[in-house]
A and B are shown apart, each in its own frame.
Chain A
């Protein structure tokens, strides 16, 4: 979009009384290839294009979005979205008449792209998928299906606003998915791996596809012979990497200003309080080079940064977007994120993790006499207003007398965010990260979760 065109649209918002007007333009190309039944099942290519305009009247948000960018159409939408406003409200930027003095943020090139996926032929993607299929099927005759998929996304983003910000960015992400189904005794089980990175197509070249497919296949096959877990309250050791989803859901969402400003978080008004065990330090870091959840700038045009959320158990700050910072009084943390132009940005996590502690994973497991080892977590969700969360455990083992015992299936973990943090009593030294997608009011955004092996003293394990 040309600056003079953007300026006219921003000016139109100011003239209707908005204190702040922001324009978000996006063109995203998404390519996906999926392979199952030893054949290409779907090959798709999507172009997402549109403009989102946000008008702030104090802390009230007016948002309009469209896949058409012709000026008269966008101006009609601005009028439509302003229709509900009282004519006297909002006046901060109304008087603007002078040309906007544009400035661009200094964005560090943290996520270099060696090979733009838009220039890579489909055969190379197919090669990745066939290798995964072969590797998974070689594990066992019980492997009945392998679904493998590559996806690559290149987004051209522009954020500009009535304060003169003009920030453009290109985001390139690649992800590999493999889901393996194993059968036995009339039952079916699935296991999956899905690494991703903010990289070009070199991501696939550097990936050990065979090892990932092997890992998923072996786990699926193991589950066929697993017995059910006995449910109840017990200590749980949560494995590293994707185990970080427990912090993401149980606590991370509750530390976003979007919930805090609506008084819909149990951690509202608790800055400076000891909310977690002293072993716990938690960080959100949007700057990790090449990480799936990283951003050079957030979707409000603010450069990414590192935010210590909890230090030695004490709540330091919240994750904020522009509005959240304004309403809660914390500094902006560069966490205003959205799935696409179809969503107004709100505070969201980037790469969120519990920092490494001092214990070896073996010592953490050895500390439990009778409990559960949640080696690999599945997904989860939380109700921020009540703090009630739940998680799936994809691979779990009983712990007996400090040793990992039999594999069990059917485990879930449920609890309440406020009560779980003080129960994380041991933190391992094996910090690892994993990619995921996080859904909330501004859509699904790529995030990384991370943690070392941790011990939770007591949590409800769903089972039989």
Chain B
């Protein structure tokens, strides 16, 4: 084998482990991953973009003494891998010491995650094309005000990974998923609104007609929206947008943010940070979900983590280093970013459902704003908790929808919002996501219009 020959993933891992030891490091961990993807876009009856990708990469964190250095490469040749180890070693000479112990081999949870459906290997571009064309045709039939479908995409993804370390941990995984999304623009006069429906899952079984109908309805229902007078309103965040908001404010629950002094939840373990109805769980062991796995990027076995119970903060989500730095147990939520550095991930982050129906929440006050679209997140800060964000939705009076609303902003603070939650619905969105939050009723939200 020449030094410039491309290696398999397993061969690359072996080379890097050997080179790390040769470089004088007796502690290291490695994650190597390989993915392939098929996807296409359809516009105006034609496949306008077809995408086939085959990508690989390898990340190493090695320690010189207790100093970690990280490096990643997408070139899996012996020469390139040697250089990657050399670079990680050079970074380690610069880093400060990190207090952590790499995990020992352990039995992984005996859970069938059902994330590797072998039939996905046989999903073809032709099937994707047929689905997309069906969605497009159906969308124009739903409503004559549909002007355009600028976004219509179907894809199939597969990913394999190997995680190993110098203690003998060696785990492998393989996952597959598909996604299908459509964005429909409806027009009435000079007003345009876009409705989006994005589906996903571990199989390829989509109902084109219902996707088209949902996207179009979401566009059309807001066409004659008007602003709302500025004031303080009760707001129901639809389960279409509540995951977006709670996902944005997940990082204060990360031990990493606590350690860096960028979380208002520092020192709050054991204290009430939300109303008692709030429970937050991270459960990577949920079968078929988007954020499921049996081991994390540091080789820590996955487990169900109760982050908030009865409104009381139980722990932070952590990596090995941030767990040690903040004194919490590792939660098996380590991930490697594109730079090869270890960060924290969300793993099926769930705010527990309530017992009320959405209709009950919408009728809880004499009037409320039901938010179904959020626009932009730049004015939301996970550090300060500030939320200032554009919203669209519907005004409800005594439980009845009275008119659509747009050109308003909602303004509150996430850490205050957790104490102002007045109800949770009994339903999650059926979108394929990593964050699950039911409809949420909050009072005292400032609305500007």
Contact = CB atoms under 8 A, between A and B. Distances in A.
Contacts of B150: 259, 262-264, 384-385
Given A65-B55, A84-B50, A383-B375, A412 B80 contact: no
Interface in B10-35: none
B250 interface: no
A378 B74 CA distance: 33
B134 interface: no
Interface string B392-412: 000000000000000111110
Contacts of B324: none
Contact of B55 (A32, A231, A342, A386): A342
A392 B378 contact: yes
Given A81-B51, A147-B260, A386-B194, A231 B446 contact: yes
A63 B150 CA distance: 19
A391 B340 contact: no
A462 B410 CA distance: 7
B55 A49 contact: no
Contacts of A147: 260, 262
A81 B379 contact: no
Interface in A86-126: 122-123, 126
A181 B384 CA distance: 9
B379 to A, nearest CB: 3
Contacts of A33: 94
A464 to B, nearest CB: 4
Interface stretch (B84-92, B165-173, B241-249, B282-290): B84-92
The residue in B95, B339, B378, B446 that gathers the most chain A C-beta atoms within 10 A of its C-beta is B378
Contacts of A43: 68-70, 91-92, 94-95
A63 B48 contact: no
B73 interface: yes
A271 interface: no
Given A44-B339, A122-B93, A390-B390, A262 B376 contact: no
Interface in B124-149: 124-126, 128-129, 147-148
Interface residues of A, number: 85
A44 B69 CA distance: 7
Given A43-B70, A145-B262, A67 B76 contact: yes
B75 A187 contact: no
Contact of A70 (B6, B68, B339): B6
Given A43-B70, A46-B338, A264-B150, A462 B379 contact: yes
Given A80-B52, A84-B126, A263-B148, A42 B390 contact: no
A330 interface: no
A68 B230 contact: no
Nearest to A144: B261
A48 interface: yes
B43 interface: yes
A119 B257 CA distance: 33
B177 interface: no
A414 interface: yes
Interface stretch (A54-62, A198-206, A448-456): A54-62
A392 B384 CA distance: 14
Contacts of B91: 43-45, 122
A39 B390 CA distance: 38
A37 B390 contact: no
Contacts of B147: 263
Interface string B55-75: 111000000000011111111
Interface in B81-119: 83-84, 87-88, 90-96
A393 B259 CA distance: 27
Contact of A190 (B148, B193, B383): B383
B40 interface: yes
B40 A84 contact: yes
A45 B85 CA distance: 10
A250 B126 CA distance: 37
Interface string A219-245: 000010000100110000000000000
A223 B386 CA distance: 12
Nearest to B125: A84
A39 B379 contact: no
Interface residues of B, number: 84
A181 B87 contact: no
Nearest to A123: B94
Contacts of B49: 60-63, 344
Contacts of B93: 122
A378 to B, nearest CB: 5
Given A83-B124, A344-B49, A388-B375, A47 B73 contact: yes
A60 B409 contact: no
B448 A190 contact: no
A412 B378 contact: yes
A66 interface: yes
A392 B51 CA distance: 34
B159 interface: no
B52 A391 contact: no
Contacts of B48: 59-61
A63 B378 contact: no
Given A47-B72, A385-B185, A386-B185, A81 B388 contact: no
Interface of B: 6, 38, 40, 43, 46-57, 68-76, 80, 83-84, 87-88, 90-96, 124-126, 128-129, 147-148, 150-151, 183, 185, 192-194, 227, 230, 259-262, 264, 338-341, 375-381, 383-386, 388-390, 407-411, 446, 448-449
30 contacts: A41-B96, A47-B72, A47-B73, A47-B74, A60-B47, A61-B49, A62-B49, A63-B52, A67-B74, A68-B76, A70-B6, A80-B38, A81-B52, A84-B126, A181-B262, A186-B264, A187-B385, A188-B384, A190-B383, A344-B51, A379-B378, A384-B150, A385-B192, A386-B192, A388-B375, A390-B390, A461-B448, A462-B379, A463-B409, A464-B448
The 5 A-B pairs at the shortest CB distance, nearest first, are namely: A231-B448, A462-B409, A390-B376, A392-B379, A264-B150
Given A45-B72, A464-B411, 20 more contacts: A43-B91, A44-B72, A44-B339, A45-B84, A49-B80, A60-B46, A61-B50, A62-B49, A63-B49, A68-B54, A84-B40, A84-B50, A122-B93, A232-B448, A263-B147, A264-B151, A383-B375, A385-B194, A387-B192, A462-B390
